[in-house]
């Protein structure tokens, strides 16, 4: 029996590839995903290395370090696609520079005669777009965002899909902190009948009246304002009725 996934589920996703362009034959060699539910990392991650059936470009190899020899005994994309589809099903997917990863994912799905990757998830959040809106004119690479939000990435010597997804999850939570509610949370226990519990009596409200000297000083200020406006200043309308300097 298939377990029902939470409706508020987010999946942070990253890929590594043999190069920059799937249209010229570049392929995905690694997929890493991190699950977030109710703004908490669940530990239910998805990570697969993939045999791309070709070599990586030298520039790409320098970035991820995944050699052809290392990937030669790994499953092909067709062998992991059903697991990936099941994992992201119905989730909102978070990607940094989403067009790059989606271009590769959709291309791999198309090669297998499957609907686009994006048809399996409920939506896509591009954290690069978010970061540019929050920090216009600033560097918004993943490394730059880790520095800005004080997230340690000292262990990131090479790019890795799962590691980068874990870092991006922390960055996303930091970038969106405080957006869930514009009001302060007030803890109020509900009774067994579903009604709000008694918050208890309010404390005594203490009112400290102005002294005669303070009232006189206040009146002097108002008189100066009256003179400046050649009439009755605005603050006269807010003076408590019947309060005058002794």
Which residues are marked as active site? 159
Token pair in block for residue 192:
């067994």
Q: Is 75 exposed, middle or buried (0-12, 13-18, 19+ CB in 10 A)?
A: middle
Helix (H, G, I), strand (E, B) or coil at 83: helix
In the numeric block, the tokens 């960055």 are attached to: 171
d(CA 169, CA 151): 11
Strands (E), the chain: 9-17, 28-37, 40-41, 46-49, 92-95, 123-126
Angle at 74 between CA 19 and CA 51, to 5 degrees: 25
The count of other CB atoms within 10 Å of the CB of residue 24 is 7
């Amino acid at each position: 029996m298939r377990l029902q996934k939470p409706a508020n589920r987010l999946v942070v996703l990253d890929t590594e590839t043999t190069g920059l362009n799937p249209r010229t034959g570049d392929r995905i060699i690694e997929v890493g995903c991190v699950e977030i539910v109710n703004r908490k990392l669940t530990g239910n991650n998805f990570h697969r290395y993939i045999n791309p059936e070709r070599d990586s470009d030298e520039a790409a190899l320098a970035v991820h370090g995944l050699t052809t020899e290392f990937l030669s005994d790994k499953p092909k994309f067709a062998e992991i696609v059903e697991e990936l589809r099941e994992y992201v099903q119905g989730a909102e997917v978070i990607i940094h520079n989403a067009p790059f990863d989606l271009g590769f994912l959709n291309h791999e799905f198309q090669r297998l005669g499957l609907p686009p990757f994006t048809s399996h998830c409920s939506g896509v959040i591009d954290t690069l777009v978010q970061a540019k809106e929050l920090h216009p004119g600033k560097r918004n690479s993943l490394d730059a965002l880790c520095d800005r939000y004080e997230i340690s990435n000292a262990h990131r010597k090479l790019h890795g899909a799962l590691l980068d997804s874990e870092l991006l999850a922390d960055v996303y939570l930091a970038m969106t902190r405080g957006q869930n509610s514009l009001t302060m949370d007030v803890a109020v226990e509900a009774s067994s009948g579903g009604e709000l519990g008694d918050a208890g009596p309010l404390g005594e409200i203490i009112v400290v009246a102005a002294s005669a000297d303070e009232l006189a000083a206040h009146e002097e200020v108002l008189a100066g304002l009256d003179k400046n406006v050649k009439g009755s200043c605005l603050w006269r309308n807010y003076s408590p009725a019947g309060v005058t300097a002794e």
